Chains A and B, each alone.
Chain A
Amino acid sequence: VPGESRLRVIVLHPRLLGTYGDGGNALVLADRARRRGHDVDVVAVDGDAPVPQSGDIYLLGGGEDRAQVLATELLRGSGLVGVVQAGRPVLAVCAGLQILGHEFTDPAGVAAAGLGLLDLTSTRGAVRAIGEVVATPFDGLPVLTGYENHRGVTRLGPLASPLARVSIGTGNGDSGRTEGVVQGSVIGTYLHGPVLARNPALADRLLSAVLGPLDLLDDRLLERLRAERLRAAALSRHRGQWRRLASARGS
């Protein structure tokens, strides 16, 4: 029933994890819930404040290497484990995804311990992956569109499933062309954009886990954006293929 209870969206360490506009994910969730008549509180957790256990949806964004290490230390023992064990929906983007895994590579090139909440390990790739991404989710969601900017290579263990299969871009950077992760109530992805602004179905997946069946919204503007970005990604892939072909002929 609209307005009956307040939706609480918890944003974890936005000062450290929010370099690539990922703060927009909270804005999009709040907007989509409000347009359906729900009251929303967006709560930022910063510094050494504990992670509230009473949130409905938890968000982690991407960040720079050093900020990622600091955020990991602040989140260790912060109560995030309880949130995940309680099955609350969590969306973790880029550095946020890596933080929740077993380990990742720190700025000095050394393996740093993650929080171990996701069965995955991230290392540093040879080249930075920068550009538009298109990926097809395994669970029937519409195709994902986003922008990646990272040097992580993420390998999933047996407890974790990939979120999607990459058709354009790099994603997890593994041999299976996978992108992101789903494990229990946690969804992880390398997509910025922010990802929920460009993929409203993913936003509604998170919202419906809390609010149940959702009313349809007028998403014409978002659909226009999605169509435009998917077209641009396809075009950039063709340009890339053409360049590779041309340079192969030239050599």
Chain B
Amino acid sequence: MAAATSRFTGRGSGSIIGGRLLLAVQPDALRTLVAGRPVTLVSGTNGKTTTTRLLADALLTRLTVATNASGANIAAALAATAAAPAQQLVLEVDELYLPQVLEETGADLVVLLDLSRDQLDRMNETQRVATLWRTALQRAARPPCVVANADDPLVAWVAEAVEHVIWVGTSDSWSHDSAACPHCGRLVRREADGWACDCGRRRQPPTYAAAGDTLQTPDGALPLALQLPGAVNAGNAAMAVAAAAMRGVAPADAVAVMEQVTSVGNRYRSYPVGDRTVRLLLAKNPAGWSELLPLLDRHSLIVIAINARAADGRDPSWLWDVPFEQLAGQTVVALGDRRVDLAVRLSVAGVDVVVADSLRAAMSHRPELGTVDVAANYTAFSDLASELRRAR
């Protein structure tokens, strides 16, 4: 009832208020609500929402699934999701909540995507998050099966805590947060066939791997023609296919479903605005932006929006870790609460930067370009998605 009211009045997505009420009445609601149903958890710095969506869609071919599709991934939202009468739960979980949610749900399948710098005012250090995860897996009453990103040395170290690991090759290219081996502290070597450390740890041969437009699976190579763009989404799909296979969905069937997905939670969604088309894209941290920048259309007006609210992380220093030099010579409009921080960063990168106070002001630039790519971090993205929905 509370959730229905909230949705009806248009305040918030509804799921968090419903979940908060539930948790206020019954603090261990999640534990009770799971009630013996199979639970899959998805966590990591980047790709949580997309991978969760791809996996849930694949599982839906065989079962009813409850999932927190809105990307609301904290305790209250998870409880609201678990209240749904579905055969299975697929939950996207915030990195810091994963230990608690693993304990409360007793999940038997955990998908670990990547760990890189993000919201450091809240996470403090990436290594700290890895240690929390590893400890949580070691303490699990019944250790889950882990679907692990083989290309991330931090995730590989976490996965050592369990016996049953499915390794997935994602071609994850961000290596700046795992320069030091999480086990021995030595320098991790980056080699042609992956990473390796003198302590003997190295990239494990993956059972599933995304490589261009094909997906390696135990059933052989499958063509992969996602509508979601970029290598990063091929990697997310590989992780989701591996997890779906653990739930009995054949890789070819999973891929067929995933190829139908055009946008996830408004990511990559296009909106007509006047006689222009606006495409909305999301990136939240240096690893995410590094994957996103090559996807921006150089023949569009490029708008970048940056906030630094609680959910974004209060410190946008990370803007200097993003290779914005790729946009040198390009006109880019800086938008969002921290548009001046962004503008300083872009100007040093050699970008022809304009500061705008609103989306409308941003859109007044380069009217001869029929398409606009708007790339934003988390809360800026949510605000712009609402604004574009209203404008339609």
Contact = CB atoms under 8 A, between A and B. Distances in A.
Most chain A CB atoms below 10 A, which of B121, B182, B348, B349: B348
A70 B317 contact: no
A200 to B, nearest CB: 10
B317 A65 contact: no
A225 B186 CA distance: 39
B120 A194 contact: no
B211 interface: no
Given A70-B185, A221-B340, A28 B315 contact: no
B319 interface: yes
A12 interface: no
A27 B320 contact: yes
B204 interface: no
Nearest to A48: B187
Contacts of A69: 185
B96 interface: no
A149 B124 contact: yes
Contacts of B344: 197, 221-222, 225
A21 B187 contact: no
Given A31-B348, A65-B125, A19 B320 contact: no
Contacts of A114: none
Nearest to A26: B320
Interface string A3-28: 00000000000011011111110011
Contacts of A58: none
A21 B317 contact: yes
A147 interface: yes
Given A18-B176, A23-B321, A27-B320, A65 B127 contact: yes
A20 B127 contact: no
A24 B355 CA distance: 20
A90 B288 CA distance: 32
Contacts of A23: 320-321
Contacts of A66: 127, 180, 182, 185
A221 B186 CA distance: 41
A222 B120 CA distance: 24
B117 interface: yes
Interface in A217-250: 221-222, 224-225, 228
A15 B179 contact: yes
A224 B340 contact: yes
B324 to A, nearest CB: 10
B341 A225 contact: yes
A88 interface: no
Given A65-B127, A70-B187, A224-B340, A21 B182 contact: no
A130 B185 CA distance: 25
A184 interface: no
A174 interface: no
B177 interface: yes
Contact of B315 (A31, A149, A224): A149
B318 interface: yes
B6 interface: no
Interface string A31-43: 1000000000000
A221 B120 contact: no
Contacts of A15: 175-176, 179, 187
A67 B179 contact: yes
A47 interface: yes
A149 B120 contact: yes
A131 to B, nearest CB: 7
A192 B187 contact: no
A70 B348 CA distance: 31
A193 interface: yes
A131 B320 CA distance: 18
Interface in B112-140: 117, 120-121, 124-127
B191 to A, nearest CB: 13
B345 interface: yes
Interface string A196-211: 0100000000000000
B263 interface: no
Interface string A176-197: 0000000000000000111001
A42 B121 CA distance: 29
Given A15-B176, A23-B321, A70-B180, 15 more contacts: A21-B318, A21-B321, A22-B320, A27-B320, A31-B348, A47-B187, A64-B126, A64-B127, A64-B177, A70-B186, A149-B120, A221-B347, A221-B355, A222-B344, A225-B343
26 contacts: A15-B179, A18-B321, A19-B117, A19-B120, A19-B125, A21-B321, A24-B320, A24-B321, A27-B348, A28-B348, A65-B125, A66-B180, A66-B182, A67-B180, A69-B185, A70-B179, A128-B124, A147-B315, A149-B120, A149-B121, A197-B344, A197-B345, A221-B344, A221-B355, A224-B340, A225-B340
Give the top 6 A-B pairs by smallest Cβ distance, nearest first: A24-B320, A21-B317, A21-B320, A15-B179, A64-B125, A67-B180
Interface of A: 15-16, 18-24, 27-28, 31, 47, 64-67, 69-70, 74, 128, 130-131, 147, 149, 192-194, 197, 221-222, 224-225, 228
